[in-house]
Amino acid sequence: MLIVAETVEPVISLRGVTKAFGSHTVLSDVTFDVPKGKTTAILGPSGTGKSVLLKNIIGLLRPDAGEIWVEGEQIVGMKDKDLYRIRRKFGVLFQDGALFGSMTLYDNIAFPLREHTRKGEKEIREIVHKNAELVGLMDHLRKLPGEVSGGMKKRAGLARALVMEPAIVLFDEPDSGLDPVRVAYLDDLVRKSQAETGATFFIITHNIPSVMRTADYMGILFRSKLVRFASKEEMRTSDNPIIRQFLTGKAAGPIGMDEMADSGDIDAKLEDYPELAEADGVHDGVHDGVMSV
């Protein structure tokens, strides 16, 4: 279901994207627009194709059917040289930061500039310092990744993702491996970075409190299909039982403990799940470690 305000320009558009591996369909007819200059989060139970979706958007995988448009260009079937040009529009923050262990944080952040531009070291230093200051790493640039915390690695990874001034920054479960306090700090950094750069941020995650702090728009995948894509406020007040169960973290509902326990009914009705019908929607707060409802 496609719900995006008409006044918001899409920077990425998916139309009927389908991807299977053998007999297992991971994505089925997925259609939505990613609004330009906003933060979008894609959520869903484990194994629902979130990372596969990300890899299709960046061109690391090719869908079996459908179209993917990035800033007005259709990338499915695009020649390698053109796809490489499109990828220059993206910055990516991977789960573990994906830093080079033998390089200092400074050299890790500088790497894309040295590899893909002809900038001199003076200009590179200015850019690295600007982004290191943004993420709070100025005092740690000479350290190796093995000498810093997981949160610092994430921040260095974010700085590296930003140095090329990408139009779109992709986050693959950026909160993986971080404690709740560090996640909150990272969320603040995400909001600050998005506001300062004006880039489109696209986050793959299943951390609900984090999404409530950072996202403007969100979509939920379930059993290979997109349940709904809408503004955060619309999703918070949705009466769809899949959306409500996922956002409130309740055990009762169409989402089971694993795929074999799922009801499989993407068109389930809220009245079929009294426990979910009693919830008033999802709020921003977290109380005693559980999302407020």
> Which residues lie across from 219 on neighbouring strands?
42, 229
Domain ranges of the chain: 10-89+166-238
Q: What are 181-206's pLDDT values in tens digits? A: 888 989 999 999 999 999 999 999 98
286 pLDDT above the threshold of 70:
no
Letter string b/e over residues 141-163, b meaning 16 or more CB atoms within 10 A of that residue's CB: beeebeebeebbbbbbbbbbbbb
CB 59 within 8 A of CB 86: yes
Residue 284 scores a pLDDT above 70: no
What is the model's pLDDT at position 291? 37
Which pLDDT band holds residue 22 (cuts at 50, 70, 90)?
Answer: very high
Cα–Cα–Cα angle for 24, 26, 29, rounded to 5 degrees: 115
- Residue 272, pLDDT > 80, answer no
Q: What is the pLDDT of residues 124-144, one digit of tens each?
A: 999 999 999 999 999 999 999
The reported pLDDT for the residue numbered 104 is 96
User: Do 28 and 224 form a contact (C-beta atoms < 8 A)?
Assistant: yes
- Quote the pLDDT of residue 64: 97
**What pLDDT score does 266 carry?**
60
The mean pLDDT value of the chain amounts to 86
Distance CA 263, CA 89 (A): 39
Place 44 in a pLDDT band, splitting at 50, 70 and 90.
confident
Residue 194: other Cβ atoms inside 10 A: 18
Higher pLDDT, 63 or 265: 63
pLDDT of residue 226: 95
Q: How far apart are CA 120 and CA 164, in angstroms?
A: 14
Q: In this predicted structure, what is the pLDDT of residue 98?
A: 79
Tell me: the pLDDT tens digits for 218-237?
999 998 999 999 999 999 99
Does the pLDDT value for residue 259 go beyond 60?
no
Task: Indicate whether 265 pLDDT > 90.
Answer: no
CATH topology of domain 10-89+166-238: Rossmann fold (3.40.50)
* Mean pLDDT of the 232-243 span: 92
User: With 80 as the cut, is the pLDDT of residue 14 above it?
Assistant: yes
Q: What is the predicted pLDDT for the residue at 252?
A: 79
pLDDT over threshold 60, residue 279 = no
Q: What is the pLDDT of residue 292?
A: 33
Q: What was the pLDDT predicted at 285?
A: 43
For 70-120, what is each residue's pLDDT tens digit? 999 999 999 999 999 999 999 998 876 678 999 999 999 999 999 999 999
Residue 293 pLDDT > 50, yes or no?
A: no
Q: What is the pLDDT of residue 192?
A: 92
Q: Is the pLDDT of residue 59 over 80?
A: yes
Q: Is the pLDDT of residue 280 over 60?
A: no
- At residue 174 the predicted structure's pLDDT band, cuts being 50, 70 and 90, is confident
Q: Which residues of 37-59 are buried (b: 16+ CB within 10 A; e: fewer)?
A: ebbbbbbbbeebbbbbbbebbbb
